[in-house]
Structure 1
Amino acid sequence: MKIIGARLVCLVMLVACTSGPRPPIATPGDRPAQDGQVPVARWDRIEPDGVQLAKSVTDVVATGRDDGWAVGYHYAEVEDEPLDGVLVRVGLRGWRAVERMDKRFPRAEQTSMRAVDAHGTGYAWAVGNAYLVNDVVPFALRWDGIAWHTLTPLGSKPDQQFTDVAIDGPRAVLTALRGNRSLLLSWNGERLQRLVSERGERFESVAARGGRTWIAGGQSPGTCEQTRPAVWHRPTSQTAALEPMRLPELGTGMLTQILQIDVANVWAVGERGTGTACDHDGHGTPLVLHWNGTVWQEVPLPGEGGRLTGITAAGPNDVWLAGVRDGHGVSLWHYDGRSWTREAMTFEADLEWAESRAALTIVPGTSQLWLAGSTGRDFDRHVAIYRRL
């Protein structure tokens, strides 16, 4: 889950206020999108601090100008070596892998880290999955400013995984998949409580603020080939039910990221097609949706998009998207409140399309952007974290 800069009054994804009608709001995309490029010189690579014990970063969150957390994976440079999830700390001197998950789960054949979110330097959550011989143990890590504490609220079962985590003050909300059922869990200060369990719905990304929760993913009446994009809203932390949002007719597809800026400004991105829903290689058409406080509308992007994997914002007029195209590196789009502009940089994607990822985060209180992922191919991959100058 990507956070918005701290200078915003509100960063939750909310529906229209109930206190009365609000004035009409222009929908992004009403103006023509522009296609431009920004020189690579505007980006500075954050180098590793010491021995590099990570190969790729899958998510990143900044907690200050020179401080943040990332999650990713590591593997030995030999064939068939299993992946091992890693926690990465970004600091003044660079980034370093602070812990590998095989230490916490010695019985696991493989571990992975999926997502991370933070509220200041003293509170953070990360989620991942430990794969045993026949079962999976989804795990959450909670940072209290001193140490990371492990929680395994779903136990050990086949075909389950954590997908995302978001922080709302002391509250944390987590999404998970278990077979054909999706789960929403919430931290109440002492333990994780299971709040929602829905069949035929796939929760991929979650955002939370002010007691509200928004989820992006997909919904299917049967097979994965029938999956359609979906968004759910939980209006308060006291309400158990999730409300499905009405979306335009989009065909098949899946939403994989969601970001709320204010009560009438929510973005959700993903793709058309069945690649993500059915977990197979290949990709569909990039899909960008915007909530203007009244309706969800599709917004076109300039240029070829590839697979959209990152979204963040410093404010309503400073929104960023990242997309990865196999063999074509990473593309970025910036929304200035009027239109989208495409940027390009030489950031090489992973070899396999399904594993390609570029994560984004805004440094709180600034407009500075971090971009994270990996460069290289096969067994010669390296963590890449860039700072936009």
Structure 2
Amino acid sequence: MGNLRVITVAVLGMSLIAACGSGRAAPTLAPDRTVSPTPSPQNPVPSESSAASPAATVAASAAWATAEGARLSGNAALLDVTATGPRDAWAIGYQDSAEDREGLPAVLRWDGSRWREVKLPVVGAYHLEGVGASGPDDVWVVGNGRSAFAAHWNGQSWTRQRPFGVTEDYRLDGVATDGGKSWFAGNGPSGGVVLEWKEQEFHNVMNAGGTLNAITAREGDVWAVGVSEKRTPLVCHGTGDGTWDRTEIPEIPGGGLNRVWQISPSDVWAVGEITAGPDNPEVRYAQPLVLHWDGSRWTRVEVPVPRGTLHGITAIGPGDLWVSGIDAGHAGQPLFLHFDGRRWSREYGPLFRAYAEGQQYDESDDVGRVGIARVPGTGTLLAVGSIGSGDDEAGFLLRR
């Protein structure tokens, strides 16, 4: 099969056993930032577990277990996950990818007992980027091939939609469903765009400029996030009456947002990173970025990880927020941050691959991306992601 590898989550779980106790020396983390002892979402009490460790790996939390999943063919990655209940969850991404080949969409579904692949009959589709569902018979996936595409699952079959027709200069990156309505975050020649699926048609409801990466919706409020034209965080807000605007947020040079989650109209969280650039020369490494909306303004929230990036966010309740991503000091393990309403704590998933001299890529043992979702009606969390890059990439599934 040449460089192609057939990977299952079970195989990655077995590699954990072989990998423990070895690994390359990771750079020592810089001291964690001091957080005000006055507890609030903006100034939480720092967790006792926030002390940085200089080790290449840290102890994996026993709460996060690898989940056996359907086989993904060749080089693969899982990029997003959602659940509508204990017996219905979806994970999406791509498979059969290579440096010289875009690959094919990957869709996995959890039925309460196992993950299995669901074929997506879409010709010309390469990667899936986002998934949203309001129930087992109302699921949207979005992605990109020769052009942007979306597909809807009605409980029995898929129906493909072309939000931008056959034009090749648009893409879709996120989807949100709520109360039978659906919204989409996309990008085109003029910047970010928000679409609404209404009356069996797509309607352009917001031209945002910049780039939009994700969208969330609840109780008639819709939030889309990304990166502005000035390379600062971008947040757009829509309401039930169809009004949309760009929300004023802190000016953070190099900041960008990857995901957003609404607990209530006055409790919204967004996560991403701050990258190095000419506008912020003091930033040498990517830094995690968390922003919180309290109903009147957005403020930045400090977290106990000084270097890294954040990819996912979900909540079981107002005092039970979870964020997923990568700690640059321990890049081989998924990072999970928990906020209980007063303080942040952090957990790490398993080490899937140990560093090996002469490995194909420097990043072959590093986590590439981590998405997270809650299972409604339970305290269960699901996480997906990828290990490695290029011709040496595999997806993973975790359950807490």
Q: TM-score category by the smaller chain?
A: 0.7 to 0.9
Q: Which consecutive unaligned segments of at least 5 residues does structure 2 have?
A: 1-38, 50-57, 278-283, 354-360
Match of 1:71 in 2: 92
Q: Give the distance between the partners of 1:194 and 1:171, measured in 2 at CA.
A: 14
3-state SS, counterpart of residue 156 of structure 2: coil
Tell me what 2:180 maps to: 170
Partner of 1:303: 305
Residue 341 of structure 2 aligns to a residue in which SS? coil
Match of 1:250 in 2: 252
How many equivalent pairs are there? 338
2:134 pairs with one of 114, 119, 134: 119
1:115 CA drift (Å): 0.2
Partner residue in 1 for 2:384: 372
Query: Residues 243-277 of structure 1: CA distance to partner in whole angstroms, max 9, x if unpaired?
Result: 222212322321111111012211011112368xx
Report what 2:345 is aligned to. 341
Output the aligned Cα RMSD.
2.7
CA positional deviation for 1:382 = 3.1
Cα distance in 2, alignment partners of residues 120 and 171 from structure 1: 12
| Structure 2 counterpart of 1:48 | 69
Asked if 1:206 is matched to 2:215, the reply is yes
Q: 1:308 to 1:38 in 2, by over 3 A?
A: same
* Pair 1:381-2:393 in alignment: yes
Distance 2:59 2:133 in 1: 29
Alpha-carbon displacement from aligned partner over 1:89-142 (angstroms, at most 9, x marks no partner):
123342222225xx421xx3x6110100111212111101112xxxxx111111
- Contact 1:88/1:95, CA 8 A, preserved across alignment: yes
The Cα offsets for residues 209-268 of structure 1, whole Å up to 9 and x where unpaired, read as: 222211111222xxxxx32112111122x32x4222221232232111111101221101
Whole-Å separation in 2 of the counterparts to 1:377 and 1:254:
22
TM-score, normalised to structure 1's length? Answer: 0.79
Q: Is the 8 A contact 2:368 2:388 kept in 1?
A: no
Q: In structure 2, what is the Cα distance between the partners aligned to 1:294 and 1:192?
A: 31
Q: Secondary structure at the match of 1:119?
A: strand
**1:298 Cα deviation (Å)?**
0.7
Displacement of 1:325 in angstroms is 4.5
Q: 1:128 to 1:364 in 2, by over 3 A?
A: same
| Structure 1 residues 27 and 296: CA distance shift in structure 2, 3 A | farther
Gaps of 5+ in 1: 1-25, 132-136, 221-225, 276-281
| Equivalent pair of 1:305/1:325 in contact (CA under 8 Å) | yes
* CA–CA distance in structure 1, aligned partners of residues 96 and 302 of structure 2: 38
Percent identity among equivalent residues? Answer: 31
Which residue of the partner structure matches residue 215 of structure 1?
A: 224
Q: Which residue of 1 aligns with 2:372?
A: 360
Q: What TM-score, normalized by structure 2, do the two folds share?
A: 0.77
Distance 1:216 1:231 in 2: 5
Q: Distance in 2 between matches of 1:231 and 1:376?
A: 31
Give the counterpart of 1:270 among 251, 269, 272. Answer: 272
Q: Taking structure 1 as reference, are residues 195 and 346 closer, same or farther at Cα in structure 2, changes over 3 Å only?
A: same
Give runs of aligned pairs for residues 125-140 of structure 1, distance below 5 A.
125-131=140-146, 137-140=147-150
